[in-house]
Chain A
Amino acid sequence: MEFQVPKSTYTGIINLVKLGRGDATVSIGGETALPFYTFEGEMPNRPIVAVEVQDRKPSDWPDVLTKYYSDVLDDPVRWAKKSIEKYGADAICLRLTSIDPNGEDAGPDEAAEITAAVRKSISKPLIIYGTGPLEKIAEVMNKVSEKNSGENILMGWVEEDNYKTAATAAIKYSNNLVALNPLDVNIAKQLNILLTQFGLSSDKIVMDPSTSALGYGIEYCYSAMERLKIAALLQNDKMTQMPVITDIGPEVWKVKEVRESEENYPEWGYQEERAINWEAITCGSMLLSGSDILVMRHPGAISLIKEFIEELM
């Protein structure tokens, strides 16, 4: 007798979210089974890799990373193009490091200009992430949304106690929002409820569960995301059915296991391969638990993860 493969019955579906416009459009979501459980359901859209670009030259990136971008680090437009053409980015995640009041404190207008310039130069969807306090980020998102009206970009981020400014701008100019929660299914749901009640369509929301790196609490994130997917798919809980973005680059690239050289820690092995492994394993874990967008940095890790997705689809 042939073996009957045990299959779970899923009642829910992850929201289909479209990012970008025209030729730059990419869809995420639409899954009807746990991530890569293609024997149980559909996974119509592959998870995408958004390569991180910063609007100012980063000062804290180690050499094993900057050497791939050294010719473009002071020009976000060229940096974005190189990430797409050379490293296979499915999207660009522009981190606005200039706006942090503790740093340069650049104004919303300038951030909006840079964002539009990057967006116009690429034929892939654009994601932006702010830096610094949420009040400032909201102010910047407002301008960025206006300047990229109708372009369907994804803007990070809003939280439970500060979402109205950004949500107003997202609705008005037809863009998407990242809803951040601190590794917490209930807070994630609550924020989705607030945003949709405020008038933002649920297919304009992507959740960020506050990713952590391998060795720094990744298991909390892994389980929080598994629980979100189970609620979304098995319990058909509408307010957990938003796709997920995991902002992995900054988390991985600040830990000492990635930043220290083999001279300092010979028992950890070669730094660059170790760093690639660290980023790739973190991404792999987030893919298995349900990430739809990965924000990544190292070209070596990016190509491993792209192959990984290709093979498991």
Chain B
Amino acid sequence: MALSGLEIFKKLPKTNCKDCGFPTCLAFAMQVAAGKVGVEKCPHISEEVKKELMEASLPPILKVEIGAGEDSIVVGEETVLFRHDRTFVNQNAFAVTVEDEDEAGRIEEVARRVNDIAYERVGEVLTLDAVCIKNKSGDKDKFMEVVEKVDSLTKKPLILVSKDTGTLKCAAEAFKEKKPLIHAATVDNVDSIINITGETGCPVVVRGETFEDVRTLTEKMGNSGIKNIVIDIGTRNFKNDFYNQIVLRKSAIEQKNRLFGYPTIVFPGEMTDNILKETLMASVFVAKYASIVVLSNANYQNIFPLMVYRQNIYTDPRMPMQVEQNIYKIGNPGGNSPVLITTNFSLTYFIISGEVENSKVPSWLLVMDVEGQSVLTAWAAGKFVPEMIARFVRESGIADKVNKKELVIPGYVAQLKDELEEELEGGWKVVVGPREAGEVPRFLKEYVAW
């Protein structure tokens, strides 16, 4: 995608004037290539070169913003096919559908859930992103009424779906301040939609069943200066649309095909009537390249696993996920409850806390910040060693919460026992726990029975 530092350098004045704030033109070029500074910081390049460089440095999939204000969402900007190459950039949005024929109660419930659902997990809060309103009735007034209603209930972005261009025009004009996503431009109405989006500035979906149709539409829009485009491709057949998503992403990234270099939207609820199957299909599109996944429902049992999966797929594969250093209470521990220690690698924490919970033995779990490494890795790296563990235990304040001053350490670092006891002082005893998390429940039950 982007140009290399040297390619950018060639286009610069090479005067090392420092007006950009960097010591040399080469240093500046490197920073531009790394995406850390914009090329416009150089006051001496021509408009033409500036435009060329700015276009070349755009990501292969353009960024599109939907909605306005704090709750607006940004999608696109992806640069790779595989998450092990580089972290996926903007996590996909989840939208929930209401139809203008739905009862008021359902519309209110969906809006409420889109506003309120918030799952806290590994230091992040997982939320829904948008409401998709479908003009199922075909009636303009009815649609406008429902859009107004939803708009009054939520600040989250809206996706407005209608087959009628007049209806879309009316809605886009009425709500243009909120920048809803307009669905959709097709080969039949593209000229009118170009006018609507040109005037309102709303982002727009292009809808085509084939690559050729989509390409025709994005080209036409691009020529009219419209770039805030989202692609809706396919026939609502799972295999076909799975294939479409992969081909679009490959084409944008490997072939540098700008005509497909836009975020995508999928509707798994239109591929099946089975709500669990829809959830499974939605998860596939989280991993395989959709930017907006529109769901038919906001049922907790479907939303929750999907949001956890999205968080998993979009984490930085090079950075271990971390949990906060803290004393975690499991159950309702008291002065004589066991005190266990582990590291803040989130997998370690999740697995250990889950097993402690399974044991039904209320416990204190000390989680020590070792930059997100597992117990053995942290020990090998000198971050989970007696002196540091003792300091953490002292500063944690756990001594004020318990009478029984015994610390259970992971079995894999059993060799730390004696030295840690010395370092801890204050009458602490160190107990060696099991090596594997799965053995924790049995260990805890026996330990408290002593």
Binding site for B on A (CB under 8 A): 2-3, 5-6, 8, 36-39, 102, 212, 214-220, 222-223, 226-227, 230, 254-257, 266-271, 273-274, 276-278, 280-281, 284-285, 288, 300, 304-305, 307-308, 311-312
Contact = CB atoms under 8 A, between A and B. Distances in A.
Contact of A5 (B215, B247, B281, B299): B247
A93 B190 CA distance: 55
B276 A284 contact: no
A230 B82 CA distance: 10
B212 A2 contact: yes
Interface in B234-248: 238-239, 242-243, 246-247
Interface string B208-235: 0001100100000000000000000000
B284 A304 contact: no
Given A2-B212, A226-B82, A269-B299, A214 B317 contact: no
A307 B239 CA distance: 12
A278 B442 contact: no
B222 to A, nearest CB: 16
B300 A267 contact: yes
Contacts of A276: 276
Contact of B283 (A217, A223, A255, A285): A285
Contacts of A223: 82-84, 317
Contact of B251 (A6, A257, A267, A280): A6
A6 B149 CA distance: 44
Contacts of A281: 279-280, 283, 305-306, 309
Contacts of A102: 439, 442
Contacts of A256: 354, 357
A141 to B, nearest CB: 20
B276 A273 contact: yes
Nearest to A271: B301
B347 A217 contact: yes
Given A6-B251, A214-B312, A288-B287, 16 more contacts: A3-B251, A8-B250, A38-B243, A214-B309, A215-B350, A222-B83, A223-B84, A230-B82, A257-B308, A267-B119, A268-B304, A269-B303, A274-B304, A274-B305, A277-B306, A285-B283
B357 A273 contact: no
A233 to B, nearest CB: 13
Contact of A215 (B121, B255, B280): B121
B246 A273 contact: no
Contact of A312 (B239, B255, B308, B351): B239
B313 interface: yes
B226 to A, nearest CB: 21
Given A5-B247, A304-B280, A311-B238, A216 B309 contact: no
Interface string B107-141: 00000000001010100000000000000000000
Interface residues of B, number: 50
Contacts of B288: 288
A2 B212 CA distance: 7
B284 A284 contact: yes
B326 interface: no
A269 B276 CA distance: 13
B401 interface: no
A307 B277 contact: yes
A26 to B, nearest CB: 23
Nearest to B288: A288
A273 B358 contact: no
B337 interface: no
B312 A219 contact: yes
Contacts of A308: 277, 280-281
Given A254-B354, A256-B354, A273 B302 contact: yes
A277 B239 contact: no
Nearest to A260: B357
Contacts of B243: 38-39
24 contacts: A3-B212, A5-B211, A6-B247, A6-B254, A6-B255, A36-B242, A38-B243, A39-B247, A216-B354, A218-B309, A222-B287, A222-B312, A222-B313, A223-B82, A226-B83, A256-B354, A268-B301, A270-B300, A273-B299, A274-B305, A276-B276, A278-B305, A304-B277, A308-B277
Contacts of A305: 280
Nearest to B346: A217
A121 B428 CA distance: 58
